[in-house]
Chain A
Amino acid sequence: MSAQAILQRLGAPLTVLVLLTLWELAARALALDGFPTATESLAQLPAILFDGQSLQSIGASLARMFAGIGLALLVAVPAGLAMGRNPTLARMLNPLLSAAYPVPKAALMPMVMLWFGVGDLSKILVIFLGVSLPLLYHSYHGAARLDDKLLWSAAAMGMRAPARLLRITLPGALPEVLLGCRVGLAMALIVMISSEMIARQSGAGDLLFNALDMALYPDVYAMIVILAALGFALDWAFEHLRLRLVHWAEPRQDAASGGNS
């Protein structure tokens, strides 16, 4: 292993260590009530992670998040791929997408709760909305960029349209679709936390603000550390999965973008 590779592998833990040290020093220097030191906050981690109730809350949040993502995958990816291959459909849906893009999805929580009640359905729906847009956008661009000849050949050999979408368009657009999934995953976590902070009934976001209301400041920071670690871990795990699925596309994609520009 070269020195650079070792440095790359140690980069992330080293960064975390440096950040924690900076936090500790800043907290000691400022000595604010609302800014406990890193050691004080991290000491609360086991109390939260081994507490059945808070674990259940976080677990329920994650279950809703994955339900929202799963639903978005089922709806947005086929819709995006179809848009990429059908210019009329794209012309119909694109204005709606651009109009929906700047709407803060988690802010829909109060309305959606009035429509669908305060249960899991509303929360899943809002996450679904947040994840769908990046998925649609990336699937659309991935499918639109696909070489037409591939689809013509398949059609000439008698493959029907739904099969072409599944067996030619999807694998061809997969690198771009997975890029959308990565954005969508980050989005899902953000929408999950913010909608729980807004609705304040259950889940990880609610846990965080409960600790804030009760002035349990080290707990607040411990929760933030947990959510930050969750964001990092999900992204890390997905990147490994993504590279495994589309490792064949990476160098080719670079060459193509280099050639075009």
Chain B
Amino acid sequence: MRRILETLVPAAPLILLFVVWESAARLGWAPPNLLPAPSLVLQRLLELLPDGEFLHHLGQTLIRLLGGFAIALVVGVSLGLLASRTGGGALITVVRVLAPIPKIALYPAFVLIFGYDHASKIALVVADTLFPILLATFHGARAVEPKLLWSAWAAGSGRFASLFTVTLPATLPAILTGCRVALLIACVTVFLAEMISSTDGLGHLLSLAARSFRMVDMFVPLLLISLIGLLLNVALQFARKHLLRGQS
């Protein structure tokens, strides 16, 4: 009973928002063609989910999202770990110049170089998610207790090997925090890129619906990408619990 209450209390504001929005649409406070009832949007989402074409667009989005994230994860963690050993002066200088650049502005260049298909969107996701992962890894690895490394070296572990056997596991909490930020950025980035170039994917579905003023169909992809962001976040929390079960 207590558990049910504890999960219900944080949900209360969301339920309230849902009720207010629903009644605003149902009671005609807002014109239904401008503000659709959330129940209609949910219903439409459930209708579309088994649809083959809809699933194709969803799949395209997920490939770009997860592909870009995976590349950024591998590159960011490796660069961050390596830079943590060398002091990282050069890396920090480069990051200080590149990080504040609005990456979305690079998208036309990626389109020109990589074309309108997967590659340009994946490149944009990598550009947007690389720095949060890289910086989290670098700062996390710098904060690793040096005694851990000294013990490993004294016990005969190689300098390079200890990067993966000692520094990487000890940096894991920081990396996972970076991943959490990066995953949300990846969801937003891929969606915007799909809206801008509008060839396929969930973002394209929104642009397509906007062209013919189908309000409910405009909200469906937006709701779905937000749910994907939330679900990925929850999945990451589970992974975190599993991966860090030995650490306090």
Q: Does B96 contact A (CB under 8 A)?
A: yes
Q: How many A-B residue pairs have CB under 8 A?
A: 142
CA distance A57 to B148 in the complex (A): 56
Q: Which of A15, A96, A221, A228 interacts with B14 by CB under 8 Å?
A: A96
Q: Which of B35, B102, B207, B222 interacts with A108 by CB under 8 Å?
A: B222
Chain A residues lying within 8 Å of B94, measured Cβ to Cβ, are 15
Q: For chain B, what secondary structure do more than half of its interface residues adopt (helix, strand, loop), or is it mixed?
A: helix
Q: Does A220 contact B (CB under 8 A)?
A: yes
Contact with A along B60-89 (1 / 0, CB 8 A): 000000000000000000000000000001
B13 contacts A104, CB within 8 Å?
no
Q: Does A151 contact B (CB under 8 A)?
A: no
Contact with A along B1-28 (1 / 0, CB 8 A): 0000000011111100100000000000
A107 contacts B13, CB within 8 Å?
no
Could you say which of A69-77, A164-172, A190-198 contacts chain B? A190-198
Could you say which of B43-51, B103-111, B151-159, B237-245 contacts chain A? B103-111
A93 contacts B222, CB within 8 Å?
no
CA distance A205 to B106 in the complex (A): 11
Known: A11-B93, A32-B112, A190-B104. 9 other contacts (CB 8 A): A7-B89, A12-B93, A102-B188, A104-B187, A110-B210, A189-B102, A193-B105, A194-B196, A228-B106
Q: Does B213 contact A (CB under 8 A)?
A: yes
Question: Which chain B residue has the least Cβ–Cβ distance from A23?
Answer: B109
A96 contacts B218, CB within 8 Å?
no
Q: Does A152 contact B (CB under 8 A)?
A: no
Chain A residues lying within 8 Å of B215, measured Cβ to Cβ, are 111, 114
Contact with B along A88-110 (1 / 0, CB 8 A): 00011111101101111111101
CA distance A107 to B9 in the complex (A): 30
A114 contacts B104, CB within 8 Å?
no
Chain B residues lying within 8 Å of A231, measured Cβ to Cβ, are 100-102, 105
Question: Which chain B residue has the least Cβ–Cβ distance from A18?
Answer: B94
How many A residues, CB 8 Å from partner?
56
Chain A residues lying within 8 Å of B17, measured Cβ to Cβ, are 96
A107 contacts B206, CB within 8 Å?
yes
B34 contacts A114, CB within 8 Å?
yes
CA distance A212 to B116 in the complex (A): 13
CA distance A222 to B13 in the complex (A): 47
Q: Does B225 contact A (CB under 8 A)?
A: yes
8 Å CB interface, A2-16 against B: 7-8, 11-12, 14-16
Q: Does A66 contact B (CB under 8 A)?
A: no
Task: Output the least CB separation between A226 and chain B (Å).
Answer: 9
Chain A residues lying within 8 Å of B107, measured Cβ to Cβ, are 197
Contact with A along B161-203 (1 / 0, CB 8 A): 0000000000000000000000010011001100110000001
B13 contacts A96, CB within 8 Å?
yes
CA distance A238 to B111 in the complex (A): 31
